[in-house]
């Protein structure tokens, strides 16, 4: 089965074609970073308009790269949520309309399920069951995954997501958009243990996260510190260390409580070099394994949507003709494929 994947949940237009027998045939991505840079963050209306301009040309490009025509496709998968409602509607309208015109089934995909399954696109995919850490600008969640669609939410952020905290702290430091990757780069120049930041909610039971207070602690530290390049790097290092340590502590706790040894880490923040190093060291120390998607599939992309949609289409699922966007959509409400 060859499936076209369309991702338009926020500020990146991702298109891909996945073949359930041959694997990923093509993927194309257009980032709106330059469009939103002058505003210091994503402007939803501008994002939606740019998806309108870019989606169809990228579909044509993906088909050309795969050396396929529309008649060679067996299904269309598009992101139905969560995300920006206007951006989601662009992908849903185009995906649902193309599927109708091409007389093939369409399926609306959960954005975070796509991230969760992104490591399945690698040569060494994880086996079920595993614990997934989904960590991005909009979500920080720990999920037990027993099979596709069999998800148990173990913990999540009660306020800011980890990626959101990175972006907001970067903005406090005067770093340009997108702030998270810039803060991580600055942290590499920082010295260890120059500042002591808290590890929020690690001194109590449970697997929930909270990063809003850490952002406030960073704001107070920035306001009282000297304004020079090395100090800024030291603060960035201390902030990143606090976020990474918190994530590692909660992952350790989740694996201990469930007795599992496999960890999947996905979402934009999973590209963070320091987080990868720390989780690899931790899982090796317990005789476990950690799985990451390749860097290009950490952020939003069409490949993960095409893969997730293909698994559900194979099971006989499909969306009806209604065009629906779900900007808020808890992942633990998903049903397993009806195999």
Q: Is residue 136 a known part of a binding site?
A: yes
Residue 11 binned pLDDT confidence (cut-offs 50, 70, 90): very high
Alpha-carbon distance 66 to 22, whole Å?
A: 11
CB distance 277 to 157 below 8 Å: no
- Rounded to 10 deg, the angle between the 162-172 and 179-187 helix axes is 80
The pLDDT of residue 221 is: 97
pLDDT above 70 covers a percentage of the chain that reads 99
Looking from the CA of 93 toward its CB, the CA atoms found within 13 Å total 11
Return the CATH fold of 128-292.
Answer: Nucleotidyltransferase; domain 5 (3.30.420)
The pLDDT of residue 298 is: 96
* Identical fold, 2-117+297-333 and 128-292: yes
Q: Is residue 137 a known part of a binding site?
A: yes
- Domain-wise residue ranges, the chain: 2-117+297-333, 128-292
Alpha-carbon distance 308 to 300, whole Å?
A: 13
Residue 337 binned pLDDT confidence (cut-offs 50, 70, 90): confident
The pLDDT of residue 313 is: 97
Q: Is residue 167 a known part of a binding site?
A: yes
Torsion of CA 205, 207, 208, 213, to 10 degrees: 60
Q: Does 339 score more than 60 pLDDT? A: no
Q: Is residue 134 a known part of a binding site?
A: yes
Q: Is residue 135 a known part of a binding site?
A: yes
Q: Is residue 86 a known part of a binding site?
A: no
Question: Which H helix or E strand runs over 38?
Answer: none
Return the CATH fold of 2-117+297-333.
Answer: Nucleotidyltransferase; domain 5 (3.30.420)
Which residue would you say has higher pLDDT here, 231 or 138? Answer: 231
The string of pLDDT tens digits covering residues 278-331 is 999 999 999 999 999 999 999 999 999 999 999 999 999 999 999 999 999 998
């Amino acid at each position: 089965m060859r499936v076209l994947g369309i991702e338009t949940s926020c500020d990146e237009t991702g298109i891909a074609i996945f073949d359930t027998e041959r694997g990923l045939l093509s993927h194309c991505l257009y980032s709106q970073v330059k469009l939103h840079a002058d505003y210091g963050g994503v402007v939803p209306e501008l994002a939606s308009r740019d998806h309108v301009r870019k989606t169809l040309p990228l579909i044509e490009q993906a088909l050309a790269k795969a050396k396929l025509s529309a008649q060679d496709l067996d299904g269309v998968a598009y992101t139905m949520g969560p995300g920006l409602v206007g951006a989601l509607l662009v992908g849903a309208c185009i995906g649902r309309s193309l599927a109708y015109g091409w007389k093939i089934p369409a399926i609306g995909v959960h954005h975070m399920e796509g991230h969760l399954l992104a490591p399945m696109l690698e040569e060494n995919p994880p086996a079920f069951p595993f614990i997934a850490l989904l960590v991005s600008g909009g979500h920080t969640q720990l999920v037990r995954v027993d099979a596709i669609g069999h998800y148990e939410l173990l913990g999540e952020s009660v306020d800011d997501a980890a990626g959101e905290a990175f972006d907001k702290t970067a903005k406090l430091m005067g770093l340009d958009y997108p702030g998270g990757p810039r803060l991580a780069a600055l942290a590499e120049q920082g010295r260890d243990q120059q500042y002591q930041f808290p590890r929020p909610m690690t001194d109590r039971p449970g697997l929930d996260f909270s990063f809003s207070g850490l952002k406030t602690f960073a704001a107070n530290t920035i306001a009282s510190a000297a304004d020079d390049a090395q100090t800024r790097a030291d603060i960035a290092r201390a902030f990143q260390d606090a976020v990474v340590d918190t994530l590692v502590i909660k992952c350790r706790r989740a694996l201990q409580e469930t007795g599992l040894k496999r960890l999947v880490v996905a979402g934009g923040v999973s590209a963070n070099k320091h987080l990868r190093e720390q989780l690899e060291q931790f899982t090796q120390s317990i005789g476990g394994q950690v799985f990451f998607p390749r860097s290009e599939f950490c952020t939003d992309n069409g490949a993960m949507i095409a893969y997730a949609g293909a698994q559900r289409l194979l099971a006989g699922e499909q969306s009806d003709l209604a065009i629906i966007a779900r900007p808020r959509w808890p992942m633990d409400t998903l049903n397993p494929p009806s195999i």
